[in-house]
Structure 1
């Protein structure tokens, strides 16, 4: 059960990492586009910041911390057995 949970958590975190990386590259392109006078890319990115990208970053950190805690608890149980 624990292994299956960790496997799905790791898969979810991998997908979330790719979302955050895509958001970063989109941000970089939006900044360049805005400075060149094309604000549409920036406007779309900014509208998605609060509902999509900000929670994705928080979920990434929380998931990584949760994964680490679960693995440490498993290691402590294996030492005691």
Structure 2
């Protein structure tokens, strides 16, 4: 059963939850109207962070590609052909080693910064009482 609820008067979170529990489909404008205003405000990030995130995602893709390439090279070498493994070994030092190093370094830095932020937030919230 599909109901179209486009009026703002029916955008009550309790009614929406009740309709969802009753397996009824709720239209998107009503569902979004029930969200708090803080969730609908766009999160504006600096452009350097957006580009850094893109760079790190490309780095992850290089590492995943390298893992697949290594697996393929091992399978091909087990069949008696060494040319794919030779190519992988030539690309290891200039391509895959820096990509792995950047991935590990960024994961460690991200974890350290997150840990420090949580520690500062905990000390800031407990000291105010």
Q: Which has the higher contact order (CA 8 A, sep 6+)?
A: 1
Q: How far off is 1:72 after superposition?
A: 5.2
Equivalent residues of 1:9, 1:63 under 8 A apart: no
Greater Rg, structure 1 or structure 2? 2
* Structure 2 residue ranges without an equivalent (≥5): 1-44, 125-129
Aligned residue for 2:80?
Answer: 37
Q: What TM-score do you get using the length of structure 1 for normalisation?
A: 0.76
Change (3 A) 1:75 1:11: farther
Aligned counterpart for 1:22 among listed residues 65, 71, 80: 65
Change (3 A) 1:62 1:56: same
**Count of aligned positions:** 79
- RMSD, matched Cα: 2.3
Equivalent residues of 1:6, 1:67 under 8 A apart: no
Please state which structure has a larger fraction of its residues in helix. Answer: 1
